[in-house]
Chains A and B, each alone.
Chain A
């Protein structure tokens, strides 16, 4: 695959993944907080085409889980008394799509009282698949927004500091060093302690994003400043200046375009980094709280030895995370290669 087509392919893959995660209500069969108290840590439902009698059904179906006899509290077995065919575009529990728009159409589901758990359930019997999609929305949005803030602030300050130099440069760089040196984790603990006990989830989320953006702007600023510093002295910039072009014109026409490809690469690196930051914060209990999922608090379950060794489906959010990061990483590598080619 040549570079261009690879980038296109990766972009489409990422876009699809994001769409999937940005509309979790539609793609998931259940609400993220719906508990099934009789089914904690139930394994993923098995999709069948053949029933117990061996008859073939063109429409896949699942059986419900029930506690296996003689081993209460432990293992589950399939209850073969009733089969639940998988139905597509099924109406179920209501969810909000975006800003008050509500829907209740789900891509798939099974008839009540049956349950379909593609990725099994967690310790409250909540559908892990639905939680992973909803959790992905929070983690991804936090990553994207955080990266946008960091790139915008970092890019702007980097360009100004590199272009004007002198005391402006010195001031921005000193502030930047301060930001790099602060022990962020402790600062965050302190910030959480000061805030009121009851904060809305959206506020926690914005706080997370804001904090990540604030922490993250320093590195992009430094790199952009380096590029601007070298571009500033290039002959075409000097020529433009000699012809009487204004600062704004030079910035817009000659300097900023030179930083774009670096910024894109940085974005591809920063987004997974910020998703990971959200994961870390939620893992430490500073992120969004129960019952709202994020990939961080889904993975936090794995801190427990018994979960780690007994329920393999609890690893699935980690696999989703790896796939997403790999896609971002490959995009960033492909973008970098292209930058090198263009510059040659």
Chain B
């Protein structure tokens, strides 16, 4: 994969430079030309966000809202193209990888300027990585930059060339650069040495204090209401005709905490882009979309998967005797297979998502075009087969139809679900009804999300949980934590010192191997096997993957939403407002 992307990246860079020849006098810098419709300058776009950003400091941001706003004001060296799901050059115009895959050499674009006019050079890159790797700053990105607990080393070769040394082979290394925003050394070096960096660029900073390489820069922030960004005149991208991007004069984020309120604002035309719409509201918006001139898109499944899993942790029988007694069922593969066969995934999709979700039998959703193992079996749900499996595992039924285990104890357990998600609560209700058909007495317990996570990760006092996970990237490597038996989110059995089962040992081996294999087809083969093992052994019972639903007013040009976050605003630099009369849906 790496070599493939490299070739592609070079091709794009070459194209960009060819396009630049004619423009070279007008803009004597190395800009990259973005693909898409040529738009018109000016205009203002309003987007509603669910919450306020906690910080605007890229080093410290964790929450999605902060990241979305920071993304509009900053740039990274190498970017994941949301359309192709592959990497492309950003501030680095090209890169090469040494034969052993341990050394990356990056070439920066010349003449790129920060929003305050200061030049961007290799010093800024070295400084930025110093910040990300500083233990005292606790950057959430730091973990990504450690391999085997050793940090990636960054060396400046000259003003526009850098060398990155990896402590071990790491196949998707260039994907790491995505989202690592480059910081201005000329502004932040002094506060950093004074130990004040953690206080910089909070939400109370003045607009002029924040300087970035993104398409927009801060103009005004009204706490609790909105944040207004304005066009960055020094942005480093142009359109196909050589016009400097972005088109929009202003990008405004309105803070609307409730989804329903967001929908009402979008309906009335107060906001132009709506992301993360639930299926109910999508159906509601669709009724009037044509007359109101709104374009709604169902992008198909994203990278989120919803699943049910059982507690298979090795627990102290003295502390949690009830759970331990039930683990004999949970550990029996036939029991889990029966549960999976009883799940009415079609019904779930119809009732909970109005048809706007996709059934899944593995952890990789069909939205992940590069890595999906398309050969996984999709066993049709069948209560008869489920009953046969249970029977072969020693279960039986009493006269009232209740399921009994081999010791004639009734099969009853609780399923925890986050009370903040109406959709997952509904999924749990359906699962409860499905399992009742098998004679299982399931109680659904809605619980505050943090309390639920605490039970799963810390106290391990639960029987089953219905929850979701969203992959941040299409690449399998971020899933290491989930599948490695020693992983921090190896949810069903945490803190294994050695793999509890043979298939978990094989998962460990495969995940390690895919990380150090460079070639895409070889990695894909390894990861296909991972998906196969997971689907066969069902540590998770996969249910559905909700479709990504977004909308925009038809006046918004170049709106090309994708299933990777940020769904609609990944090309904010290219969005423009059409002249009245020219409105249309893509």
A residues contacting B by CB (< 8 A) are: 33, 35, 37-38, 40, 72-74, 123-125, 193, 197-198, 285, 289-291, 304-307, 309-310
B residues contacting A by CB (< 8 A) are: 259-260, 263-264, 278, 280-281, 283-284, 344, 347, 350-352, 354-355, 412, 414, 416, 419, 422, 425-426, 428-430, 432-433, 443-446, 451, 462-463
Q: Is the CB of B284 within 8 A of A306?
A: yes
Q: Is the CB of B283 within 8 A of A306?
A: yes
Contacts of A309 in B (CB 8 A): 284
Contacts of B446 in A (CB 8 A): 285, 289
Q: How far is the CA of A83 from the CA of B571 in the complex (A)?
A: 56
**Known pairs A33-B433, A35-B433, A304-B280; A40 contacts B350 (CB<8 A):** yes
Q: Is the CB of A37 within 8 A of B284?
A: no
Q: Is the CB of A305 within 8 A of B355?
A: no
Q: How far is the CA of A79 from the CA of B281 in the complex (A)?
A: 28
Contact for B354 among A35, A37, A73, CB less than 8 A = A73
Residue of B nearest to A200 (CB): B443
Q: How far is the CA of A193 from the CA of B462 in the complex (A)?
A: 13
Contacts of A289 in B (CB 8 A): 443-446
Q: How far is the CA of A310 from the CA of B287 in the complex (A)?
A: 11
Contact for A72 among B352, B355, B414, B428, CB less than 8 A = B355
Q: How far is the CA of A313 from the CA of B430 in the complex (A)?
A: 22
Contact for B430 among A38, A124, A306, CB less than 8 A = A124
Contacts of A33 in B (CB 8 A): 433
Task: Jot down 13 A-B pairs with beta carbons below 8 A, ordered by A.
Answer: A33-B433, A37-B350, A124-B429, A197-B463, A198-B443, A289-B443, A289-B444, A290-B428, A304-B260, A305-B259, A306-B278, A309-B284, A310-B284
Contacts of B429 in A (CB 8 A): 124, 290-291
Q: How far is the CB of B435 from chain A (nearest CB, A)?
A: 12
Contacts of B451 in A (CB 8 A): 193
- Which of A33, A124, A290, A291 lies at the interface centre, i.e. has the most chain B CB atoms within 10 A of its CB? A290
Contacts of B263 in A (CB 8 A): 305
Contacts of A310 in B (CB 8 A): 284
Q: How far is the CB of A186 from chain B (nearest CB, A)?
A: 13
Q: Which 5 residue pairs of A and B lie closest in terms of their CB atoms, listed nearest first?
A: A305-B260, A306-B280, A37-B347, A306-B284, A290-B429
Residue of A nearest to B436 (CB): A33
Q: How far is the CA of A290 from the CA of B429 in the complex (A)?
A: 7
Q: How far is the CA of A38 from the CA of B419 in the complex (A)?
A: 26
Q: Is the CB of A124 within 8 A of B351?
A: yes
Instruction: Tell me the dominant secondary structure on chain B's binding face.
Output: helix
Contacts of A285 in B (CB 8 A): 419, 446
Residue of A nearest to B446 (CB): A285
Residue of A nearest to B286 (CB): A74
Contact for A306 among B281, B443, B444, B445, CB less than 8 A = B281
Q: Is the CB of B355 within 8 A of A73?
A: yes
Contacts of A72 in B (CB 8 A): 355
**Known pairs A193-B451, A289-B445; A307 contacts B280 (CB<8 A):** yes
Instruction: Tell me the dominant secondary structure on chain A's binding face.
Output: loop
Q: How far is the CA of A307 from the CA of B280 in the complex (A)?
A: 8
Q: How far is the CA of A313 from the CA of B94 in the complex (A)?
A: 61
Q: Is the CB of B351 within 8 A of A37?
A: yes
Contacts of B354 in A (CB 8 A): 73
Q: How far is the CB of A174 from chain B (nearest CB, A)?
A: 34
Q: How far is the CA of A124 from the CA of B430 in the complex (A)?
A: 8
Contacts of A307 in B (CB 8 A): 280
Contacts of A40 in B (CB 8 A): 350-351
**Known pairs A37-B350, A285-B446; A305 contacts B430 (CB<8 A):** no
Given contacts A289-B446, A290-B425, A305-B281, 10 further A-B contacts (CB under 8 A): A73-B354, A123-B351, A124-B430, A290-B429, A291-B429, A304-B280, A305-B259, A305-B260, A306-B283, A307-B280
Contact for A37 among B344, B432, B444, CB less than 8 A = B344
Q: How far is the CA of A167 from the CA of B512 in the complex (A)?
A: 76
Residue of B nearest to A74 (CB): B283
Q: How far is the CA of A73 from the CA of B264 in the complex (A)?
A: 22
Residue of A nearest to B352 (CB): A123
Contacts of B463 in A (CB 8 A): 197
Contact for B445 among A73, A123, A197, CB less than 8 A = A197
Q: Is the CB of A73 within 8 A of B350?
A: yes
Q: How far is the CA of A73 from the CA of B349 in the complex (A)?
A: 11
Q: How far is the CA of A72 from the CA of B356 in the complex (A)?
A: 12
Q: How far is the CA of A279 from the CA of B446 in the complex (A)?
A: 17
Q: How far is the CA of A73 from the CA of B283 in the complex (A)?
A: 9
Residue of A nearest to B422 (CB): A304
Q: How far is the CB of B358 from chain A (nearest CB, A)?
A: 15
Q: How far is the CA of A35 from the CA of B347 in the complex (A)?
A: 11
Q: Is the CB of A291 within 8 A of B432?
A: yes
Contacts of A193 in B (CB 8 A): 451
Q: How far is the CA of A305 from the CA of B258 in the complex (A)?
A: 10
Q: How far is the CA of A13 from the CA of B278 in the complex (A)?
A: 43
Residue of B nearest to A306 (CB): B280
Q: How far is the CB of A76 from chain B (nearest CB, A)?
A: 14
Q: Is the CB of A197 within 8 A of B462?
A: yes
Q: How far is the CA of A307 from the CA of B422 in the complex (A)?
A: 13
Contacts of A198 in B (CB 8 A): 412, 414, 443, 445
Contact for A291 among B259, B280, B433, CB less than 8 A = B433
Q: How far is the CA of A193 from the CA of B447 in the complex (A)?
A: 9
Q: How far is the CA of A33 from the CA of B444 in the complex (A)?
A: 14
Residue of A nearest to B430 (CB): A124
Q: How far is the CB of A214 from chain B (nearest CB, A)?
A: 24
- Which of A38, A198, A310 lies at the interface centre, i.e. has the most chain B CB atoms within 10 A of its CB? A198
Q: How far is the CA of A309 from the CA of B264 in the complex (A)?
A: 11
Q: How far is the CA of A123 from the CA of B278 in the complex (A)?
A: 15
Contacts of A290 in B (CB 8 A): 425, 428-429, 432, 444
Q: How far is the CB of A294 from chain B (nearest CB, A)?
A: 15
Q: How far is the CB of B584 from chain A (nearest CB, A)?
A: 24
Q: How far is the CA of A125 from the CA of B430 in the complex (A)?
A: 11
Q: How far is the CA of A285 from the CA of B283 in the complex (A)?
A: 26
Q: How far is the CB of A17 from chain B (nearest CB, A)?
A: 29
Q: How far is the CB of A202 from chain B (nearest CB, A)?
A: 13
Residue of B nearest to A309 (CB): B284
Q: How far is the CB of A299 from chain B (nearest CB, A)?
A: 14
Q: How far is the CB of A28 from chain B (nearest CB, A)?
A: 18
Residue of B nearest to A40 (CB): B351
Q: How far is the CA of A73 from the CA of B347 in the complex (A)?
A: 12
Residue of A nearest to B441 (CB): A198
Q: How far is the CB of A185 from chain B (nearest CB, A)?
A: 14
Q: Is the CB of A305 within 8 A of B344?
A: no
Residue of A nearest to B413 (CB): A198
Q: Is the CB of A197 within 8 A of B426?
A: no
Q: How far is the CA of A193 from the CA of B422 in the complex (A)?
A: 20
Q: How far is the CB of A74 from chain B (nearest CB, A)?
A: 7
Q: How far is the CA of A290 from the CA of B433 in the complex (A)?
A: 10
Q: How far is the CA of A190 from the CA of B221 in the complex (A)?
A: 37
Residue of A nearest to B353 (CB): A73
Contacts of A291 in B (CB 8 A): 429, 432-433
- Which of A40, A124, A125, A306 lies at the interface centre, i.e. has the most chain B CB atoms within 10 A of its CB? A306
